[in-house]
Amino acid sequence: MFSIALLLLLAAGCKFLLIHQSHSFFLYNLIIKKNLFLTGFKCEQLTQPASVTVQPGQRLTITCQVSYSLSSYWTAWIRQPAGKGLEWIGWKCTGGSHYKDSLKSKFSIDLDASSKTVTLNGQNVQPGDTAVYYCARDPQ
């Protein structure tokens, strides 16, 4: 669970987590021991439904509401079947998209910049598509 939480924090743009490990002791001393606070620190929010249930053969639609500009960052969809590792589905930004070869005929990603939503669409979902699905933002 820690690695998933870390991935989600990194994907959400919490850049303080990207500090190289050799700098972490200095950062700890600066913030904790000197009681200093980071200014200008910002994490983005990505919100998606707690659960979505579909029947085999149906269409899957999961919408992710984001707090950032969709023209500035790409957004990815990742899934994790029970007991397995993370599987990248694809990413999209206003300038393009890219999908995992084996999944590009099954999934598509739509952006709506005005409502700041990124939607994952799946066709003809099957029991093998059962997983936890995550939306994630480019950390750069």
Q: Domain range for residue 51?
A: 2-137
CATH code for the domain in which residue 31 is found: 2.60.40.10
* Residue 10 pLDDT: 36
Domains identified in the chain, total number? 1
Which residues of the chain carry a pLDDT beneath 70?
1-42
**Could you report the per-residue pLDDT of 48-65, keeping only the tens digit for each?**
887 888 999 999 999 999
Residue 124 to residue 140: CA distance in whole angstroms: 34
Q: What pTM, to 2 d.p., does this model score?
A: 0.68
Q: Where are the alpha helices (DSSP H) in 2-138?
A: 2-11, 24-28
* Residue 42 pLDDT: 59
CB-based contacts of 47: which residues, under 8 Å, 6+ apart? Answer: 64, 65, 66
Distances (CA, A) of 120 to 1, 22, 86, 107: 23, 38, 16, 7
